[in-house]
Amino acid sequence: MVHRLSPMFDAGSVAVVGASARPGSFGERLARAALSAGFAGQVSFVNPRGGEILGMEALPSMRELDHAPDMAVLGVGAPNLEAALLEAIEIGARAAVVFDACHGSMPDGTSILPRLRDIATEADIPVCGGSGMGVINTHSGLVGSFYPADRMKSGGISLVAHSGSVFTVLGMNDPRFRFDLVASPGQEIGATMDEYISYAVGRDPTRVIAVFMESARNPDGLVDSLKLARDAGKPVVICKVGRTEESARLARSHTGALAGSHQAYEAVFRECGAISVNSVDALMNTALLCSTGRCPAPGGVGLVTDSGGLREMQVDLAEEIGTSLARLSGDTLAALRDALPPDLVPSNPLDCAADLTAAFARTFDSGLDILAQAPEVSMLGFEADLRDDYVYAPELLGHARRLADRTSKPVFVYASFGQTHNRSIANDLAELGVPCLNGAGIALQAVRDFQAWADAGREMPEALPLVPPAVPLPLPLDEAASLETLAKFGVPGAPSRVCSDAQAVAEAGRELGYPLVLKTAETGVDHKSDLGGVVLNLTDGLSLCAAYADLSVKLGPRVTVQKQVTRGVELALGCVIDPDFGPLVMVSPGGTLVELFDERMFARAPFGPEQAERMIRRLRVSQLMDGVRGDHPSDIKAAAAVLSAFSVACAAMRDHVAEIEVNPVVVSGAGAIAVDALIAAAQDQATDAE
């Protein structure tokens, strides 16, 4: 099946509308760029005045063409865009590129941007832009941009950037980054980010997709495209901006799209196997590491360096960043002892800086070769002083060439200093298929993320739990009703009774058994503990009745009598309904542990107990569940089952609730049980109940 964007990137003919012969003009830049990369297809220039442009006859109108171009590159301003796009569609163009930011209105008062979107939608024509830099296919030489591509070298990275500046900063900068496709969707008039991703996934030359994203106009499509890439074994590395409130506000003003919840995007990226980074440096270095088509096996990275001091820095950084260094086996250590000079200690990272003699290069070769053969090493990095005038540059290239030939593992070279001047060496290494990364921290972060991506790809996907029909919500949704509702989905709650007089309280005490907790259940009292609305450790009927007498005077007669739960590790569960991605579930430390551990994990609902356990284990508070200082271990699998059941409840009630909170869930050796819960009904349901 032909992809919808194929006419854009696989175009055999291009019409450049607004081309000009005037030196330095935008139209001339468009024309020169179209011819800059040796495009073998047909290029036509269109200018209302006709004439000659760069030695080619320009036609006054697209209607004068003797063929329907696959793509129309519309280098005209906003007032003329509607007419140009309609003319392109009329003559049969199957794709278009728009550069203008499309601000302002038409003479009839209609805003330009929505008007162009309507036209593109009605004609079902993919339109790149506006407010973008166009498209480039380095393998065919197609350039639908005003930036020439004559110096770009073909490779395995496809870059899709909402920002036009990122298109140029990353796409036109350093020859070590070798691209298949480069695109700047901008305002996404007629094609959304997910379509660019899914198109790149289907291309053989594309080995990794680098994405600079401001928003997702088609959230479901984004999820589908990321899963498509995951299933195809092609990493997608995403730098999603709008992580802070101010950044999100700027993203809205820049693209006209909502930036969305950062937590929701991060949850989607984890779910779909995408690699999330927070800077363009990390974006491109990670993409570069992933671009060779080699995939790391299970294990850790092996590092070889020429500096003892930098070796120690690598160890520090790896621990701080969370990069797994390979634990060398006895056989590997023995082989290193036999091969290295006696003054070099076998370790990982391995310092191979021997005496500055002819043996210097041979020592590196031996160390690299032994680590390359070690089964515990999943990929191999070579750190050196990578200046372009490095005296050992020929030997370095020789090591890289031999190493890449000897092993199928990912191999990379890196400089510890991020500002190292090494474009020439990096370009030579790229010719060998060996990435050259600058900056030890960035390199080790890329290694961590690439290894995690590969490890996740080997996991068997967990079947999603079935979501039953939503149960009617009892209104008002107080704590007792909330716990009762969640219990129907398999979230066990502490046994409790809601009472409004002393006799009912006494009867509840006899039914439930002691010890008990007494809590106010008056409407509108949310922070019970702060107001003295919770009384613990009630061990008999006398203490229960006395507590009720006091509480009813302070806060009112309506109370919850609840069985006191055995002490354990406390978690908090929460859910909000994200406007783009639906119910978003959170797990974090609960109760008083919130003040000690400022951490939380998010995932889209629903999910199974295996994912739930992974989420809990990513929290530092999970270490308490393993038992510390003589405490008995808590049942983390029971906690995972409760979290999974909670996610099912959230998915089932997504159309009826605004948010749900369970705090705490007490996890002990006896299981996991919810103590407090509150379901906030969606506004329309709450209004209907009034």
pLDDT of residue 146: 96
User: What is the architecture of the domain spanning 1-150?
Assistant: 3-Layer(aba) Sandwich (3.40)
Q: What is the pLDDT of residues 455-473, one digit of tens each?
A: 999 987 888 898 888 777 8
CA 242 to chain centre: 12
Distance (Å) of CA 489 to CA 124, 604, 661, 666:
44, 17, 15, 18
Domains 1-150 and 300-457 share a fold: yes
Higher pLDDT residue, 5 or 472? Answer: 5
d(CA 579, CA 212) in angstroms, rounded, equals 21
Q: What is the pLDDT of residues 510-544, one digit of tens each?
A: 999 999 999 999 887 767 777 889 999 999 999 99
d(CA 239, CA 253) in angstroms, rounded, equals 19
Q: Would the pLDDT of 255 be above 50?
A: no
Query: Which of 204-208, 339-343, 684-688 is the least confident region?
Result: 684-688
pLDDT of residue 38: 95
Region 22-44 average pLDDT: 97
CATH fold of 495-563 reads Dna Ligase; domain 1 (3.30.1490)
Q: Options 2.102.10.10, 3.50.50.60, 3.40.50.261, 3.40.190.10; which CATH number does 155-291 get?
A: 3.40.50.261
d(CA 688, CA 690) in angstroms, rounded, equals 6
d(CA 342, CA 318) in angstroms, rounded, equals 27
Domains in the chain: boundaries: 1-150, 155-291, 300-457, 495-563, 569-689
Contact between 292 and 609 (Cβ < 8 Å) = no
pLDDT of residue 651: 96
pLDDT of residue 254: 43
Q: Would the pLDDT of 428 be above 70?
A: yes
Q: Would the pLDDT of 257 be above 50?
A: no
Is residue 131 very low, low, confident or very high in pLDDT (cuts 50, 70, 90)?
Answer: very high
Q: Does domain 569-689 have CATH number 3.40.50.970?
A: no
SS3 436: strand
Length of the chain: 690
Contact between 582 and 606 (Cβ < 8 Å) = no
Token pair listed for 350: 């391995």
What superfamily in CATH does domain 300-457 come from? Succinyl-CoA synthetase domains (3.40.50.261)
Q: What is the pLDDT of residues 107-118, one digit of tens each?
A: 776 789 999 999
The pLDDT > 70 percentage for the chain reads: 94
| Whole-structure pTM value | 0.91
Query: Which of 188-202, 314-328, 561-575 is the least confident region?
Result: 561-575
Query: Which of 256-260, 310-314, 412-416 is the least confident region?
Result: 256-260
- Using DSSP bridges, classify how beta strands 275-277 and 300-305 pair: parallel, antiparallel or unpaired: unpaired
pLDDT of residue 686: 55
